[in-house]
Amino acid sequence: MTEKDPPSELIGYARVSTYGQTLDAQLAQLKAAGCARIYREKVSGVRADRKELLKMLKHLAVGRVVVVTRIDRLARSTFDLFAIVKQIADAGARFRSLAEPWADTGTSTGRLMLARSRATARGQHMGRPPALTPQQQAEARQRRAEGATLKELARSYNVSAATISRLGLLMYDKI
């Protein structure tokens, strides 16, 4: 934040699933974190018509930060979480979870972690590409079942024994 940036306005969101539960602990944590306004509701996270959540999303603006005690208070699924966080970001606001410090869209780490989680949810592979093709992996499993050692398999595919072992072929290992 530079000297010209206005201070962030913290907006809290608290939710419990049933009327037998209480919001007290969440409210105390959000107030202690400095939330100026707290939207609260007692409704299942599965429901799409969470009135207070929708009201909060409608009133977001640049410089505001949506704060929750835990991610599961905001969303019940990864898909739902990303949709809500996208709405928050599209409004120019930020998102932060008190219990999961990595989930803070105001930090580069938080944006990276959320982007990686989003990619994983879409089924994208993160990291280096596999050393063996799916066909080679199936062939290695078959050969292992027929008695080939990890060392033999690794040599024949020009990979390390560790690469072969990650295929789940450690049973009956006789290197």
Query: What are the pLDDT digits (tens) for 106-122?
Result: 888 887 877 777 777 67
pLDDT at res. 4: 52
pLDDT-derived band at 68 (thresholds 50, 70, 90) equals very high
Higher pLDDT, 5 or 44: 44
pLDDT-derived band at 44 (thresholds 50, 70, 90) equals confident
CB of 110 within 8 A of CB of 102? yes
Burial of residue 91, with CB atoms counted within 10 A of its CB: 0-12 exposed, 13-18 middle, 19 or more buried: middle
pLDDT at res. 171: 46
pLDDT at res. 97: 94
Give catalytic residue positions. 17
**Structural domains for the chain:** 9-121 (3.40.50.1390), 128-175 (no CATH)
